[in-house]
Structure 1
Amino acid sequence: MYRRKGILLVITGAIFWGIGGTVTKKLFQQYPIDVNWLVTIRLLIAGFLLLTVQFFGKDRSQILGVWKTRRIAIHLVIFGLLGMLAVQYTYMASIKHGNAAVATLLQYLAPVMIIVYLLFRKQTVLTRNDLLTVSLALVGCFFLLTNGSISQLSVPTLAIVWGVLSGIALAFYTLYAVPLLKQYDSLVIVGWAMIIGGIALSFIHPPWEMDFKSLTLEAYSYLVFVIIFGTMFAFWFYVESLQSLSPKESSLLGSIEPLAAVLTTVFWLKEPFGFFQWVGTVCIIGMILILALGKDSSSKTNQLSNNEKPLRVS
């Protein structure tokens, strides 16, 4: 029953992430919502809620304890700005200029970027799985972005640029968080990172500078879903699943996220999706499954995968 609970939690969280991206696109389509404002309000509220969960459910002393060591505090601030904020902003910007399906799938290039980084640092060796996943990623992106035609892109250029930047930011986010996660709970690290990112972006677009009268009840319901379900609950459920599932199992089940994003984008928002874009989608989801199921190629990689707690931020 404990294991079944973990499976249910990670699947539910992944579905929330995928649908949350599509709901965000709906907001951008129908209401005058600025990307900066949405990212700011999403980070601040979700971060506060995550720290609240930590306060009532786990070791509350960690909430302030993370700031007592200067080195860790600086590390956390960098993680909040260049990791959390960068991932959230680039992902939302990609949705704004394109759609949730493409943004989510491009963000899932992060594992390939991590493989390349580890190879460059000589922390792993190139395997058949690595070659297969990189090939699937490149082929998948080609079909996804061109729909099989090299004459023109089927996705706006800005959506592609922001999507690729989102993948780079997610790769940095995942690798840079390792030392922090060895000392503090994920809820504390991610909660504070969200608040740091939200405060920083508030200087560019304060959360109170918004034409709230232009928002309908439907818009507020979408905002609640994006912030509460698509961010706070999604991450909480994913973290809780790690109590009964291995990181590899959680990552595998989490691959439902891009599928949920694609399906809701096509069938709810009625976004056009060509045959070759579906082929590209299958290639990228296949890459995710291979990465989640494949065995690590070196002892360092094994140690990394056993000790790290994967973070989710979509």
Structure 2
Amino acid sequence: MKTGDLRGYLSIATATLFWGFSATIAKFLFKHEVDLLTLVQMRSTLSFVVLFLILFALKREYVKISKSDIPRFALLGVIGIAGSNFTYYFTLNQINVATAIIMQYTAPVLVVLYAVLSGSERVTPVKIISTILSLVGCSLVVRIFDFQFLNLSKIGVISGVASALCWAFFNIYGKRISSRYNIWTNLTFGLMFAGLFWLFFNPPWKIFNSGYTLNDWLIFFAFAMISVLIPYFFYFNGLKHILSSSAIITSTLEPVIAIVSAWIIVGEKLSLIQIVGSVLVLKSVVLLQIKRETS
């Protein structure tokens, strides 16, 4: 393995480490009565502020967009970022970490299904097998075949499906915009519009009147950094050295880290059937990316 490849894989692995732990940290915060909406809002808003200031100081050309593209970035921010963030963390709040993150990990399969239905990619046996693996795996994770499913939060399952759909949209629509702008520009303005969107539901005066302490604000800031900016920095840096398909395969470490850390920190355990389901979903993602890379 070349030094550059090794650096790339290590960077992607580091990003997944932060993303995986951030899921467990969010679950821990919810258990300690941290408001979900405020956490999601601060995640986007604080990340945007810090990222914008850094780019404005170092790469000012990255914070310039055409006025005609504002609606596109607004759509990316509202559905792709605000939508996927809220539904994902809402799912985390309703059901266990493993189920939430595995449900969102069906998004790559949804992206491929969209490509097939839109005619940009053809149907292949690998895509059919990956879709089946993903659906069966997700069904096992939520234990749809057993009575335990009846005890699972139905709204949590619905929001889990929504999080996968929103994340698939982020990948599909973000790819359209990325041909015209730097990837940091996409993230910056996506976060900006996500933050602006949440202001309609949780305006500044309501936040400041909520009585949050300095310690609370430090928690919001730290969570934004470890769940957005730090992992994205490592992820984008890794993409400079390895193929995006290899990066996606490596990033399947994220749910593994999330599941193990949730077991250690918040005491969430999986049954054998759920572990098998998780492996099937991740297998479907890996299978798709290996096929794309060899193509």
**TM-score, normalised to structure 1's length?**
0.86
Corresponding residue for residue 40 of structure 2: 39
Cα distance in 1, alignment partners of residues 196 and 171 from structure 2: 21
- The CA deviation string for residues 197-255 of structure 1, in whole angstroms up to 9 with x for no partner, is 11210221134343324x8x5x6665444211121101111111111111111111111
Corresponding residue for residue 109 of structure 2: 112
Corresponding residue for residue 30 of structure 2: 28
Cα distance in 1, alignment partners of residues 79 and 144 from structure 2: 32
How far is the alpha carbon of 1:30 from its aligned partner? 1.2
Cα distance in 1, alignment partners of residues 57 and 118 from structure 2: 41
* 2:274 equivalent to 1:277: yes
Structure 1: segments with no counterpart, 5+ residues: 303-314
After TM superposition, the structure 1 stretch with the greater mean CA deviation from structure 2, 143-152 or 115-124, is: 143-152
Q: Report if aligned partners of 1:22, 1:101 keep a CA contact under 8 Å in 2.
A: no
Q: Report if aligned partners of 1:105, 1:258 keep a CA contact under 8 Å in 2.
A: yes
Cα distance in 1, alignment partners of residues 232 and 150 from structure 2: 33
Q: Report if aligned partners of 2:142, 2:149 keep a CA contact under 8 Å in 1.
A: no
SS of structure 1 residue aligned to 2:101 = helix
1:64-143 mapped onto 2 (5 Å cutoff): 65-66=64-65, 69-143=66-140
Cα distance in 2, alignment partners of residues 187 and 37 from structure 1: 24
Structure 2: segments with no counterpart, 5+ residues: none
Matched to 2:186, the amino acid is I
User: RMSD over aligned Cα, in angstroms?
Assistant: 2.1
Instruction: Evaluate the alpha carbon distance shift between residue 5 and residue 209 of structure 1 in structure 2; reply closer, same or farther with a 3 A threshold.
Output: farther
Corresponding residue for residue 5 of structure 1: 7
Cα distance in 2, alignment partners of residues 212 and 220 from structure 1: 7
Q: 1:149 aligns with which of 146, 149, 155?
A: 146
Q: Report if aligned partners of 1:147, 1:277 keep a CA contact under 8 Å in 2.
A: no
Cα distance in 1, alignment partners of residues 81 and 222 from structure 2: 20
Number of residue pairs matched by the alignment: 290
Q: Report if aligned partners of 1:27, 1:222 keep a CA contact under 8 Å in 2.
A: no
Instruction: Evaluate the alpha carbon distance shift between residue 222 and residue 284 of structure 1 in structure 2; reply closer, same or farther with a 3 A threshold.
Output: farther
Cα distance in 1, alignment partners of residues 292 and 175 from structure 2: 20
How far is the alpha carbon of 1:157 from its aligned partner? 1.3
Q: 1:194 aligns with which of 186, 191, 194?
A: 191
- The CA deviation string for residues 3-32 of structure 1, in whole angstroms up to 9 with x for no partner, is 32222211001110011011000000012x
* 2:62 equivalent to 1:62: yes
Cα distance in 2, alignment partners of residues 160 and 266 from structure 1: 20
Matched to 2:113, the amino acid is V
Instruction: Evaluate the alpha carbon distance shift between residue 37 and residue 76 of structure 1 in structure 2; reply closer, same or farther with a 3 A threshold.
Output: same
Cα distance in 2, alignment partners of residues 229 and 154 from structure 1: 32
- The CA deviation string for residues 59-111 of structure 1, in whole angstroms up to 9 with x for no partner, is 31230x21xx3321221111111211111111111111112221111111111
**TM-score, normalised to structure 2's length?**
0.91
Instruction: Evaluate the alpha carbon distance shift between residue 147 and residue 82 of structure 1 in structure 2; reply closer, same or farther with a 3 A threshold.
Output: closer
Q: Report if aligned partners of 2:42, 2:220 keep a CA contact under 8 Å in 1.
A: no
Q: Report if aligned partners of 2:245, 2:293 keep a CA contact under 8 Å in 1.
A: no
Instruction: Evaluate the alpha carbon distance shift between residue 35 and residue 5 of structure 1 in structure 2; reply closer, same or farther with a 3 A threshold.
Output: same
Matched to 1:278, the amino acid is I
After TM superposition, the structure 1 stretch with the greater mean CA deviation from structure 2, 162-171 or 222-231, is: 222-231
Instruction: Evaluate the alpha carbon distance shift between residue 256 and residue 225 of structure 1 in structure 2; reply closer, same or farther with a 3 A threshold.
Output: farther
Q: Of Structure 1 and Structure 2, which has the larger fraction of its residues in helix? A: 2
Cα distance in 2, alignment partners of residues 105 and 222 from structure 1: 26
1:158-237 mapped onto 2 (5 Å cutoff): 158-206=155-203, 207-213=207-213, 222-237=219-234
Cα distance in 2, alignment partners of residues 128 and 202 from structure 1: 46
Instruction: Evaluate the alpha carbon distance shift between residue 234 and residue 296 of structure 1 in structure 2; reply closer, same or farther with a 3 A threshold.
Output: closer
Cα distance in 2, alignment partners of residues 121 and 265 from structure 1: 38
